[in-house]
Structure 1
Amino acid sequence: MPGFLATSLQAGKETASLSSLSAMGSSGRWMLWTLFVCVAAWKSAALSVTMSESVKEVLRGDFVVLPCSFITFSRLSRLNIIWTLAPFSSPETPIQVIVYDHGQVIEDPSLTGRVGFTGLPFSADIILNDTRVSDAGIYRCMVNNPPESADPGIGELILSVLEPPSLPVCQWDGNIDMGGSVILSCLVAKGVPTPDIRWQKVNPEEILLPINMEGDLSSPVQIVNVSTQTSGLYRCSASNVLGTENCYVNLASYSTPDSPSGLLQGVLLTLFMSLVLLALLVLILWLHRTGQDGRWKEKKPEEEECYNEIRYTPSLMKRSFV
């Protein structure tokens, strides 16, 4: 009986050993299969490029980092990275921003000193300093790492360069006489996003759009039937997310005399002057005539006295002959 138990125990140990060997064989085969699959995947894997952000904004004059990450299974000795820009102003003519090729960095001459890589050779991120409005556009990051035969990985990012509105220029054109028509214009040279333009009458009373005004808020505004009610101080405001700038126009209307009324006034004035001259002429003639009559009266007694002397002369003569 003890011998039988010993034999049974020995048989159980041998069975357990065979089972563990079998299990170890299956695990080994699984590990070998997994390793084979990983090697095959590594050999057939293509280079991939990812952009952590697809849209970025920066204030004009600040710096910005444009991210570009890549994964490759080949050595980095022949790594090639190219950044290009398709500006919003001319998207059909992209420019080459910066290149990394065989350990050398080449910058676009127009960006020298303002652009550079931040993490070579393990990252394709670049930094752009002293940003300008012309830097806005679509940036593309292309990475190639031979001997990988796959097409280069490409990432894309849109960069917007924000700028506050420039000082607007207010102008007016038209007829400011009563009943006339005036066009107010507000010119803004710079601003990203495009500034929103608004006109307000601020003096003597503040209203968003003056009375009898036609037009929209983003274009020249026309004031028709100019009157004292439309006279006053007007303000143009150019606004975007970065601020507001203003300019002003002082519109003062006045009335001018109509042509017939002016002609009538001229005729009346001429008639009045003619009457004055005629009165002066009559006065002069009257004074002249009065002066002549006075002199005639002064001479008449002398003539009478002379006549008397002649009248008595015959008597005297007669008396002398007696």
Structure 2
Amino acid sequence: MKKVVEKSKQESVNIKDRQYKIVIDNVRKSYNIKSQNRQKDEEFLALDNFSLKVKKGEFITVVGPSGCGKSTFLDILAGLSRPTSGKVYIDGKLITGPALDRGIILQGYALFPWRTVEKNIEFGLEIKGMTKDLKQQISKKFIDLVGLNGFENRYPHELSGGMKQRVAIARALAYDPEVLLMDEPFAAVDAQTRESLQEELLNIWEKTNKTIVFITHSIEEAVFLADRVVVMSTNPGRIKEIINIKLPRPRINAQIRTSQEFNSNRNRIWELLHGDTDKIQVEASV
């Protein structure tokens, strides 16, 4: 009888969480590392008590000190790493490894140098086994979306940093993932290009309604892009606070960055990252 009751409780929790695209439930991640004297292994705790729920179509940014576990969290969400304990779900399905329901965009572009823009974008479509005509049709759609018309037959070495990142975004979107995971994708470009890419990303997001989790070191970038900003504490990585961003959309850098709301959010996040408070938000909720 007890097992039946426990099962019933578990099912009710799952039903409650179905409104969310992503559910991260009490994730902990640790590594065994050599001690300084190298006589025995020590546990390094990268993430602890990490819980977060993300709605479908929501844009979440994550900021925190260097080494706080931001990329570790994204690797777990991508299925590239498994948590030591805790669980991560997308659409109610437990993540056990990489899958095509998630697109990943990294700082280093990760384009194939021997492939043209068009062929780079078609890579995920080839894995899906699509026909040549369908691949070209989808590739053209996303080349248009990221503004690379006329560059279809160029190779990565013939493109600027901003163009390479547009190709990476188009490639990730082309095979239609449910969730887009972005790990400091604009960190390698100049400030002006970065602001332009931020606006283009928001334009793409508004057209595609993808769920985005975006890692960044830039407080300004985090505030400008997000519906909510997740602020992490230093090791072990925990959620310190979640800031709801109520800036109107669509957003344009020149208009938003001078607003009182933008600066208020930026200052609050700066205080959280640089303050001495030890208060930890144990469970993040909407």
Relative to the length of structure 2, the TM-score reads: 0.21
Which one has a larger percent strand, Structure 1 or Structure 2? Answer: 1
Q: Please give the TM-score of this superposition, normalised by the length of structure 1.
A: 0.20
Structure having the higher Rg: 1
